[in-house]
Amino acid sequence: MKKKLLVVCLVIMFVLPVSVFAGSFLGLKVGAAAILNFPIDLETGEPFDPMTGDPISFDELGVDDLSFGADVRVNVSVVELAALLQGQVFPDGAFVYGHVGLGLSLELLGLVDFGVTAGPFLAAVVAPDGVYPLFDPENFKSFPLHIRVTADANLGGISVGGFLLVDPKVSMGQIMDPLFDPSSIDVPTTGIAGISVMIALL
């Protein structure tokens, strides 16, 4: 069901007239992002504890269950380059990660922006004795690929919206392989959810 819904969304994005999604040719937005520290079960729409698998009620969540960071998006017509940087601070260090994605962003009648970007997801642990990347910095093809879906309401020069970051379990090298079969991608069952508040500079 989720795969069919994804296909329908992509078809709509490509088929609807460009005039409906008319927006400025060049755009730059920067802002802050807040991400829920617990993954979301896409079947139930509820967060859960990744260690035990137990569901967590939204009523139990507070500010301490969020991590904060920066969100930057550059648009040239409908093409979008987006970067998300996030971190969780602990008493003895921090866990930081970033996602840089390239894709499409469509503005519906100047009111709502819908975007889909894909690119590498890089994470690292920051400890008192150094930084430990959770990827091979010397092997780009081994970088894990993540997909981010965004929806933002435009309120003048400010936009407010949400996003979902999912892991299809493929690497950058697999995507770059001419023999890669897209049908082999697993349909994600969990995702990372967050909200962004952004200011348009262009």
* Residue 110: band (very low, low, confident or very high) from pLDDT cuts 50, 70, 90: confident
User: Taking a C-beta distance cutoff of 8 angstroms, is the pair 97, 123 a contact?
Assistant: yes
Assigned domain for 14 exists: no
Question: Does residue 25 form part of some domain?
Answer: no
Neighbours of 8 (CB within 10 A): 10
Rounded to 5 degrees, what angle do the CA atoms 82, 44, 72 make?
10
Q: Is the pLDDT of residue 6 over 60?
A: no
User: Is 64 contained in some domain?
Assistant: yes
* Averaged pLDDT of the chain: 88
Beta bridge pairs of residue 55? 48
Residue of 201, 21, 3 whose CA lies nearest to 106:
21
pLDDT at 7 over 80: no
Inside any domain, residue 65: yes
Q: How far apart are the C-alpha atoms of 77 and 80, rounded to whole Å? A: 8
pLDDT greater than 80 at residue 54: yes
What are the φ and ψ backbone dihedral angles of 188, each rounded to 5 degrees? -60, 140
Question: Would the pLDDT of 9 be above 60?
Answer: no
pLDDT band at 191 (very low <50, low <70, confident <90, very high): very high
Which pair of structure tokens corresponds to residue 184? 């082999």
- Within-domain flag for 23: no
Domain around 156: 38-200
Give whole-number Cα distances, 155 to 70, 112, 147, 152, 198, in Å: 19, 9, 26, 9, 10
Query: For 143-172, how does the pLDDT look when each residue is reduced to its tens digit (9 = 90+)?
Result: 999 999 999 999 989 999 999 999 998 999
Any domain includes 30: no
Strand stretches in the chain, DSSP E: 26-36, 40-41, 46-47, 66-76, 79-90, 93-108, 112-127, 130-133, 144-155, 158-171, 190-200
Decide if 28 is inside a domain.
no
Separation of alpha carbons 124 and 98, rounded Å: 9
The tally of domains found in the chain comes to 1
Global pTM reads 0.83
pLDDT band at 187 (very low <50, low <70, confident <90, very high): confident
Position 174 in a domain: yes
